[in-house]
Structure 1
């Protein structure tokens, strides 16, 4: 039996992130949610970069880190008004 790599659709990956973050159908797991947001953000998804930036800003699922929060929010900012507003509130 040959191994075949399965790919997860973008829609399914988005749903996984939301389920982990909200605890719908699974136990709430902010650390796992941060991990999957990070993967998506690294692939250029602005919404994922925004959510990851907010997690760093608030210390949810990750250690609070203003520099990382500002980094991810700045990546999301050109595409997301919420990220632009949040970026102004995170201290330098």
Structure 2
């Protein structure tokens, strides 16, 4: 499943809630710079994709987790009077 903005699916749990009805509980990771409305839209899109592919899924709970691993941060070394030098994340 590819939905733009989703960086990872962390956990999926399922449970039958009837003879032909399935509950899906899942955690998805999204990019950290998205606003709340964008996160909600991504969650809605994930739900639509799952229900379109699996008609027996009738209930979906999606927990959104922010992907807080930032790669490629620029580092700058600065002088400090009390310390010889330290790296500051910019």
TM, length-normalised to structure 1: 0.28
Higher relative contact order (CA 8 A, sep 6+): 2
Structure exhibiting the larger radius of gyration computed from Cα positions = 2
TM, length-normalised to structure 2: 0.28
Between structures 1 and 2, the one with greater helix share = 1
Between structures 1 and 2, the one with greater strand share = 2
